[in-house]
Structure 1
Amino acid sequence: MSTSQSHASPSPEERATPDRLLHARTGTDVSPEDLVLASGKDLTPHNLEWARRKLAAEGPAALEKLLP
């Protein structure tokens, strides 16, 4: 039986998505809906108000803080 390296699992560096591909900013405005969905919350009036306050305080960077 051969112990060839061809079937070896790739290293974590080879499996990981490069950082440059993880950022979602497209140069467009970030909506409260975007922020709620990126946080994994449901689109409810309460969560949308939370997102509006967060965007008012932090600007579009609020979305970047939630995403890897």
Structure 2
Amino acid sequence: MSTSQPDASRRPSDDRATPDELLHELPADTTPEDLVLASGRDITPRTLAWAERKLASEGRAAFDKLLP
């Protein structure tokens, strides 16, 4: 008896990796809250002030230092 399994050569491959440029791309409208969350901290007035200073001095590169 045959099974109704699709031909293995016609199935899409699940071993494709997401390209680096998509993994590390930030949206244009990132906020200090995003930076706080990316750092693993809770959103408080103190951490928001830290994130605002960090974004003002480093720009979007502040995220590059936090995210892999």
TM-score (norm 2): 0.64
Q: Indicate the residue corresponding to 2:67 in structure 1.
A: 67
Task: Please list, as runs of the form range in 1=range in 2, the aligned pairs for 1:19-38 lying within 5 A after superposition.
Answer: 19-26=20-27, 28-38=28-38
Superposed, which structure 2 residues align to 1:1-68 within 5 Å? 19-26=20-27, 28-68=28-68
Q: Deviations over 1:1-52 (max 9, x none)?
A: xxxxxxxxxxxxx7x87644531413x1321000000000000000000000
Structure 1: any 5+ residue segments left out of the alignment?
Answer: 1-13
Structure with the higher fraction of residues in helix conformation: 1
Q: Which structure would you say has the larger RCO, counting Cα contacts within 8 Å and 6 or more residues apart?
A: 1
Residues paired across the two proteins, number: 54
Normalised to the residue count of structure 1, the TM-score between the two structures is: 0.64
RMSD of equivalent CA atoms: 2.0
Unmatched runs of 5 consecutive residues or more in structure 2:
1-14
Partner of 2:42, secondary structure, is: coil
SS at match of 2:29: coil
Note if contact 1:30-1:63 (Cα within 8 Å) is conserved in structure 2.
no
